[in-house]
Amino acid sequence: MTDERNFRSSYYEKVGCRGVEEKKSLEILMKEKPWDRVKLKQFCLRFTVPVAYRQLVWKVLLDILPVYPDSHQFVTMQRTEQYNDLLYAVEMLRLVKMDAPRSKILFEMWLLENEERKPPIFPETNFSSADTFIPIAETLQELYTEEVDIYWLTKSLTDIVKNMQRDLHKLKEAFQSMLEKEDDELYNHLVDINALEVLPLTKWFNCCFAGVLDDTSLAKIWDKICSGAPKILSFAAVMLVITLRRNILKAKNAEEVLKCVSEIPEQCEEVVANKAIDLWQYYGAQPQNDQLAKK
């Protein structure tokens, strides 16, 4: 069933039927003044955001820019000034070497803005915020060139991860339940060799699969996260494991399973993203039903 859904979805995308209509629909929404953020979220939950508009749409969804298009230029100037002030302060205070990877410089700026001397730990999972912020920043660097936008988007996505910590167990429960429904043979194999617990779900969820899947595939998944539906992460985890099922079924112990999910073939990454979205939509994805989206 999953393969049939994915084939249909992929076929429409390849022949260009989806993309043209989706772009027109989005352009109609963007002509409204002000933008209707609810309609915008609904669009992003139903469709993949066209690449040409994704950066702008994400910024509005994440409240980096307001819903009033006429104010975008002014607010962008304010965001840029804040960014430049933080960058200057980090350099003057020598908090990081300026020849360090840009993602680490951005992280130090974020720490300074939050008046933190060390990377905060998410108490619910004992997970370092550095392992959320830096991979997300590195992925965004592959997608976009404007460092000001990269900083603000990374900051916003990190906030989403921070806010979903208390419900992380629900994501894991949803993963197990969905995996059992979609592939009971694979699920039972993982149970039999005590491998369910070694799957790095906390890491996957807390970095939103940054550094796990390629940036192009991730952008499709992040469309849903930016729209208030982090539960898509559970479906991405399910489809990642199912996509690697042949090797996982050969695994004799938990260590071999961990090795399998740590070595994802490049050609599988887009398949994982597309199938995850198909599966999520098939099970009636609705913003009001995604309890993890509520703060």
> Tens of pLDDT along 252-281?
999 999 999 998 888 888 899 999 999 998
Determine the structural domain holding residue 244 and report its residue range.
2-293
- Please identify every stretch of the chain with a pLDDT value under 50, giving residue numbers as ranges: 1-9, 11-12, 14-17, 287-289, 291-295
Q: What's the predicted TM-score (pTM) here?
A: 0.89
pLDDT of residue 264: 87
Number of domains in the chain: 1
Percent of the chain with pLDDT over 70: 89
pLDDT of residue 42: 94
pLDDT of residue 263: 87
CATH number for the domain spanning 261: value is 1.10.472.80
pLDDT of residue 267: 83
Closest alpha carbon to 43 in 23, 26, 31: 26
